[in-house]
Amino acid sequence: MIPELGHFALIAALLVAVLQLLLPAWGVYRRDRRLMATAASAAQTQFLLILTSYLCLTWAFVSRDWSLAYVAANSHSDLPLAYRISAVWGAHEGSMLLWVLMLSAWGAAVSVFNRRLPPDLAATTLAVLGAVGIGFLLFILLTSNPFTVNFPVPDNGRDLNPLLQDPGLVIHPPMLYMGYVGFSVAFAFALAALISGRLDAAWARWTRPWTTTAWLFLTGGITLGSWWAYHELGWGGWWFWDPVENASFMPWLVGTALIHSLAVTEKRGQLKAWTVLLAILAFALSLLGTFLVRSGVLVSVHAFATDPARGIFILSFLAAVLGIAFVLYAWRAPRFVSEGELALFSREGLLLLNNVFLVTAAAAVLLGTLYPLLAEAFNLGKVSVGPPYFNMVFLPLTAPLAVLIGFASSVGWKRARVAEVFRRARLPLLAALIGGALLPLLLGHRLLIPAVAGGVLALWMLLTSVQELWRRVRARREAWAGLTQIPRAVWGMSLAHAGLGVWVLGVTFVSLYSIEQDVRLGPGQTAELAGYAFRFDGIVPRPGPNYDADHAQVQIEHEGRPVASLQPEKRLYRATRQVMTEAAVDHTPLRDLYVALGEPIDKNNAGGDWALRLYYKPMMRLVWWGGVLMALGGLIAVSDRRYRLARVASTQPLSSQVPA
């Protein structure tokens, strides 16, 4: 009964989405305010219906309803409750349902928070979101319905993929989807601007918090995904340039560019058409990401089972969305006239440069990701592009960005005073140069030029961010007053830039100074790695709720003193007969020690020699802390007062600054 309710609610949501597109669109055309106002209630109704549907599916998982094919394929009676709830998005159908749930939630949020938007802009934005919703709801109902019934009903489920039975995966997909889907709001605003032909500072101010919110979720989602892969895949890697990772990283790069170009559009009234284009591209890349993950056209650890119908549907949807968006863009964007000249040595000039680098980097990642597909299509053979390509193109394209960030606050809008900028840059530059050279030595590593370069760039970003906050504190007589007077937007920016510095520091050290070794050890034997002695104390069998584990004891000593005791596991999940590696990590801010169990050398003798993978990874944690700081910076920036003021101030209708 409950699954039928869920299915019905989903169909009803589709009908409401159609209304959400048609009624407000007709209202805007006829300039009928009452019709425009229906958009908000339609968006909220659509959200409630999809939420109902989602809860019904969750209930089916919680109550172990094997009569649903999707539940039976991805759950098991022994699966713990937390994983039964997260199993809803453990495979294709349910994760698409989560996707539309988030989409409708964003729509409902826009309808609630932007009540003071000019009615036609609000109505158009929600109508666009309705149209996107129609696409995805049709996709679910036609090709990937999670409410499909199973007959005959099996005795038990086939269990959730063991890889996904991890706390990291409980939060990673919802966060990532929030980010992905969130760019639909920026897209909807961009289309509304194109349709109305109006794009001014107020438009940018409305769009900014939504974009930043989507961006911060995406940042958090990617960071969590990296953390999860590190712990769960047992390879000790944190980024693989896997197609699906790239699929989330490209919208991130373009979204980052969008955040910055929106600032220029708001403050200086420039880069208008470019901003709109970025908003379209960010969402297009999110859709492309979905296509790559769902269609199985690319070989990836994340690829779900292949189904050509799904791929074709999403590809057509992508083509339709992009086609409409670009036609509108070509027709309307020339109307957006920039106000005044853009000087290169000014904040807006540097932000334009930042955009060029970010978008080029995104294009390079896109090329590397799609190259195997293109090669196959043009009969150039079956090719794969490995991580060396991405590292090779990505470094030169992002290093200049790190240099630019240091000037983020000292270079003012319009035209900067060169002398003032260099006077302010002197101290952090000097400190970064000395610190960058000393850092590897202080940590007892060999001096490598790339390490010094990375360290200098990282410290440069960190120190200039702190310097800006310090300068603002010093500007007041009392330190506390100064600290509390700093606008949240500045806090957010400084924190995010400092976060990038922390991230670069982590990436530099972990890529250059990691030590990895596969060893064969018998019980009681010791292996030496980076000055740490790893003693393997053998295996004990230990059953879990739905798996049996070989539980190992590894003692680590450094210069004769015990440092850590780690318990990596090898788990055999009973329902699927799948083997999983559960790595064990001891971490401090300066280094990770990572042990993963390989396999017993003799399959039938778990008490004998084992293969073990040992890692020493300096500054690994900084990579994720950097991501957390960036997301936190976004959160603080979004909570800035002026966005709330902007909502109040926008009660009076917009005066068009653009000749229509």
Partner 1 sequence: MTKRQKRMAAVAALLLGLGLSAYFVLSAARKNMMYFYTPTDLVEHRVSEDARLRLGGLVTVGSLKRGEGLNVEFTLADCEKSLPVRYQGILPDLFREGQGIVATGRMQQGTFVADEVLAKHDENYMPPELAKSLKSADGKHNCAPFKSMQQAAR
Residues near partner 1 (CB under 8 A) are 161, 163, 234, 296-297, 299, 301, 303, 305-306, 341, 344, 356, 360, 363-364, 367-368, 371, 381-386, 388-389, 392-393, 396-397, 518-520, 570, 578-581, 596, 598-599, 601, 611-613
Residue 395 or 434 with smaller CB distance to partner 1: 395
Residue 156 CA to residue 154 CA, distance in Å, equals 5
Nearest to 236 by CA among 594, 519, 507: 594
Looking at the Cβ atoms of 299 and 475, the one nearer to partner 1 is 299
Q: Contact, 110 vs 129, CB < 8 A?
A: yes
Whole-angstrom CA distances from 528 to 39, 523, 568, 610 are 66, 15, 18, 16
Extract the tokens encoding 315: 């590809």
Q: Give residue 577's region: left, alpha or beta (phi > 0; psi -120 to 50).
A: left
How far is CA 585 from its chain centroid? 24
Shortest gap between Cβ of 502 and partner 1 (angstroms)? Answer: 27
Nearer to partner 1, 17 or 595 (CB): 595
Nearer to partner 1, 465 or 581 (CB): 581
Rounded to whole angstroms, the Cα distance separating 314 from 311 reads: 5
Nearer residue to partner 1 within complex by CB, 356 or 421: 356
DSSP 3-51: HHHHHHHHHHHHHHHHHHHHHHHHHHHHT-HHHHHHHHHHHHHHHHHHH
Q: Give the sign of the dihedral formed by CA 186, CA 192, CA 198, CA 202.
A: negative
Closest CB 548 distance from partner 1, rounded Å: 14
Residue closer to partner 1, measured from CB, 297 or 495: 297
**CB 363, min distance to partner 1, A:** 8
Q: How many CB atoms lie within 10 A of CB 179?
A: 26
Nearest CB to partner 1, comparing residues 213 and 261: 261
* Closest separation in Å from C-beta 317 to partner 1: 22
Cβ of residue 375: shortest distance to partner 1, in angstroms? 8
Structure-block tokens of residue 621: 């944690």
Give buried/exposed letters for 91-116 (b at 16+ CB in 10 A, else e): bbbbbbbbbbbbbbbbbbbbbeebee
* Helix segments in 406-448, DSSP class H: 418-442
Q: Give 384 or 565: the residue with its C-beta nearer to partner 1.
A: 384
Phi, then psi, of 353 in degrees rounded to 5: -60, -45
Q: Whose structure tokens read 């990642």?
A: 365
Taking the complex as a whole, the smallest distance from the CB of residue 302 to partner 1 amounts, in Å, to 9
Sign of the CA dihedral running 118, 119, 121, 126: positive
At which residue do the structure tokens 């937007």 appear?
Answer: 489
Q: Which residue has the tokens 């802390």?
A: 625
When the beta carbons of 301 and 330 are compared against partner 1, the nearer one is 301
> Please, what is the minimum distance in Å from the beta carbon of residue 92 to partner 1?
12
**DSSP states along 87-138:** GGGSSHHHHHHHHHHHHHHHHHHHHHHTTTS-HHHHHHHHHHHHHHHHHHHH
Q: Which is nearer to partner 1, 396 or 589 (CB)?
A: 396
For residue 611, the minimal CB distance to partner 1 (Å) is 5
Q: How far is the CB of 304 from partner 1 (least distance, A)?
A: 9
Residue 342 C-beta: closest distance to partner 1, Å = 9
